[in-house]
Amino acid sequence: MCILLLTSCGDATSISVPSAGAPSSEQSDLLGALQIGATSSPQDTGRTETPSRESAAPQESTAPPAPTATPNPTPPPTPEPTPFVPLRDNTPYCPSPVASGTVTYGNDVTTIDASNLAQGYIMANYTGTCPKVKLQIIGPDSHTSTYNLNASEFQAFPLTAGDGSYTVTVNENIQGKDYIVSYEVSLDVALDDPFSPYLSPSSYVQYNADTSAVELAAELCETAASDLDCVSAVYNYIIENIEYDYDLASQITSGALSSYIADIDATLADGKGICLDYAALMACMLRTQRIPTRLEVGYASLSYHAWVSVYLTDVGWVNGIVKFDGSSWSLMDPTFAASNSEEELKEFIGDGSNYTVRYIY
């Protein structure tokens, strides 16, 4: 047997060892030295070994292999929460009528801005000295709508009779209930959208993007799956949170009602109002949810009254705010719903014949 001996200088020396028989004392000493060199560290021998460029063949280990650690499985990623997607768009819609000045008519005290006829409205102002001025719009259906025109600032007035020829007159009071026409103009109207007059602010339904009712409507309709759900949510909120103001109602005659302008945010903050307050609040909230809504003024039986009608896709115009029992429509308006029992309400409203419309705003 031949054993490779490493010396301190790194030279390799071969030593022959007999393969059989008992080793001599010299060989035993040499084998002992080899064993020490193979199993001891440099500290054991008192010397520092310099490794050789050549190495002995590795000896096979008889020790059992160390167990291999099983890596921890990578946890599955945490799923992202599914974002809430509303079933209908409840983003407030708040167009702002403007007097663009592109097309105007008038005289020294009256200006009619007809720049936005296609959007369903005109703007008008009066700068004269007469304290009582009425603006009238006669539509192609021959229906006349009457408004107060007393402020020097421009006011918006809707064109509610669709396409066709309109006549606009400005009337100054001379005494009592007598008026004279101070200005008149004819306008040919072709609407871009037949519903635009019922989706915008106007003289009787005044609001803008900062009106509190606009944000409230968006909150109420956030989970609505349809326009009908939105109508129901707004309707239920109004009849549950707004009380009828009997004191104010006792002060308002039919003549005064025609000149009464609802303060939508005041109605919401005070929690009370008369019929025009109810109707204007509901019209604002539904219009800003893209639901065409008419504010209508007329007679409920013998009482001068205001209510709303809405347009629902696949249903059409529903006259008087509606209650749907799953199979049929019932006429209802928010004022009576808030101040009467259901039995009295249905008995009064009947099939709607008790309602007579005079003005549509």
Q: What is the dihedral of CA 34, 39, 45, 47, to 10 degrees?
A: 90
**Which pLDDT score, from 0 to 100, does residue 315 have?**
77
DSSP for 188-211 reads EE--SSTTGGGSS--SSS---TT-
pLDDT tens for the chain, 361 residues long, are 443 434 344 444 444 444 444 555 544 553 444 344 444 444 444 444 444 444 445 555 566 666 665 666 677 777 777 665 557 899 999 999 999 999 999 999 999 999 999 999 999 999 999 999 999 999 999 999 989 997 778 999 999 999 999 999 999 999 998 999 999 999 999 999 999 999 999 888 999 999 999 999 999 999 998 888 898 899 889 888 988 887 887 777 655 555 678 899 999 999 998 888 988 999 999 999 999 999 887 655 555 567 788 888 877 887 665 443 433 334 455 555 455 444 554 444 444 455 555 666 6
**Same topology between domain 104-198 and domain 212-360:** no
pTM for the complete prediction? 0.67
Paired sense of beta strands 243-244 and 272-273, if any: parallel
**Which pLDDT score, from 0 to 100, does residue 264 have?**
96
**Which pLDDT score, from 0 to 100, does residue 275 have?**
81
**Which pLDDT score, from 0 to 100, does residue 49 have?**
47
**Which pLDDT score, from 0 to 100, does residue 329 have?**
38
- Quote the CA–CA distance of 320 and 334 in Å, as a whole number: 9
**Which pLDDT score, from 0 to 100, does residue 141 have?**
93
**Which pLDDT score, from 0 to 100, does residue 285 have?**
97
What topology is assigned to 212-360 in CATH? C8orf32 fold (3.10.620)
Please report the beta strands in 192-300, taking only residues with DSSP state E, as ranges in sequence order. Answer: 243-244, 272-273, 293-300
**Which pLDDT score, from 0 to 100, does residue 80 have?**
76
- Quote the CA–CA distance of 235 and 285 in Å, as a whole number: 10
**Which residues partner with 106 through β-bridges?**
111
Domains of the chain, residue spans: 2-45, 104-198, 212-360
**Which pLDDT score, from 0 to 100, does residue 299 have?**
58
Domain 104-198 part of CATH 3.40.50.2300: no
